[in-house]
Amino acid sequence: MRTVHILPLVGALFLPLTMASRAQGEGDARSVSPIYGVSLPEGYRQWELIAPALEGEPLNELRAIVGNRTAIDAYRSGTLPFPDGTVLVKLAWKRTPSQEFEPAAIPGAATTVQVMVKDSRRYAATGGWGFGRFIGGKPVDEVQHRTCFACHEARVKGHDFVFTRFAP
Amino acid sequence: MRTVHILPLVGALFLPLTMASRAQGEGDARSVSPIYGVSLPEGYRQWELIAPALEGEPLNELRAIVGNRTAIDAYRSGTLPFPDGTVLVKLAWKRTPSQEFEPAAIPGAATTVQVMVKDSRRYAATGGWGFGRFIGGKPVDEVQHRTCFACHEARVKGHDFVFTRFAP
């Protein structure tokens, strides 16, 4: 005697995914970066590793840079500039001494997640890149976002404004 | 007038894959570790990141630990001991100062790749784990492999002999 309404169920299942996809670069004001409108991309924690890195004092962080399919393909084929649709995400954690193996340091608390999105038209004024810096899933303020491109432009213009190289 | 023989083509396509699969734990003598018979798993560079790590003096290495699907699922669900079929791979590179951003260190030359394979029956004498340590794709000698389990047993028995935790 029970009637199962499939369509609302399907809608409920797909709605979050649709919203998340739309949020990438376009999403609602709460979750996107100032200036650039960049959001945390869906599923980035599962993306392929480009390289780890270590950030010294004062931040003292272990980092891992991952990329979407477009990014990885560009790295593997040596394509520069990176094509539109490239998304790079840098995860960061406090560098913490291992309690189990003295010479080692391991990830402690997560700190920031930083995103670069390539869209050569939308972000023409900043080398084709949009930037987002997130703490606890929320974008930091506009003042911090004003510093992104200036540093990338000054230091890695010759590598399409991207610091990270692929670790073989 | 040409006759296309499909079956040999299919065979040629699948043979390398079959060999690679078989090699994991069983492969030919040149490419598997002494004692354990563990080989470099196919496609591990594409696997999902578990965590980065830093190894201090004297090795001075940046590292990234990745895992196959079984490993990642176990980490995400908090499953201990890790189920049979779990494969963990630790990639390592020399820690090298970034020439583009002074506070940072980045991966230099690749050094070792280290593998742990869970097979509770085959490796019953070593906590269910088989070990492989590779340099330039070739396993190192038996003396080095004798040190693996003793260290894992002494330090991380309570975490199923695995040092690495999942970095959120």
pTM reported for the whole predicted model: 0.84
Closest in A103, A106, A164 to B57, CB measured: A103
Q: Look up the CATH number of the domain holding residue A120.
A: 3.50.70.20
Say if A165 falls within a structural domain: no
Asked whether residue A49 is assigned to any structural domain, the reply reads yes
Is residue A147 a part of any domain in this protein? yes
Q: How many domains does the structure of chain A reveal?
A: 1
Per-residue pLDDT tens digits for A22-78: 334 444 556 999 999 999 999 999 999 999 999 999 999 999 999 999 999 999 999
Chain A residues with at least one Cβ partner in B under 8 Å: 45-46, 48-49, 51-57, 59, 62-64, 66, 91, 93, 95, 98, 100-101, 103-107, 110, 155-156, 163-165, 167-168
Give the distance from residue A98's alpha carbon to the nearest chain B alpha carbon, in angstroms. 9
A135 in any annotated domain: yes
For residue B50, CA distances in Å to A64, B73, B76, B89 come to: 10, 11, 10, 10
Inside any domain, residue B165:
no
3-state secondary structure of A39: coil
Residue A48 within any structural domain of the chain:
yes
Dump pLDDT digits (tens) for A88-114: 999 999 999 999 999 999 999 999 999
- Note the ipTM here: 0.83
Q: Is the dihedral of CA B102, B107, B108, B114 positive or negative?
A: positive
In a domain, A168, yes or no: no
Q: What pLDDT, in 10s, does the model give residues B87-97?
A: 999 999 999 99
The answer to whether B107 contacts A66, with C-beta atoms less than 8 Å apart, is no
Q: Is residue B166 part of a domain?
A: no
Question: What's the N-to-C CA distance of chain A in angstroms?
Answer: 60
The chain B residue lying nearest A64, using CA atoms, is B52
Range of the domain at B18: 7-159
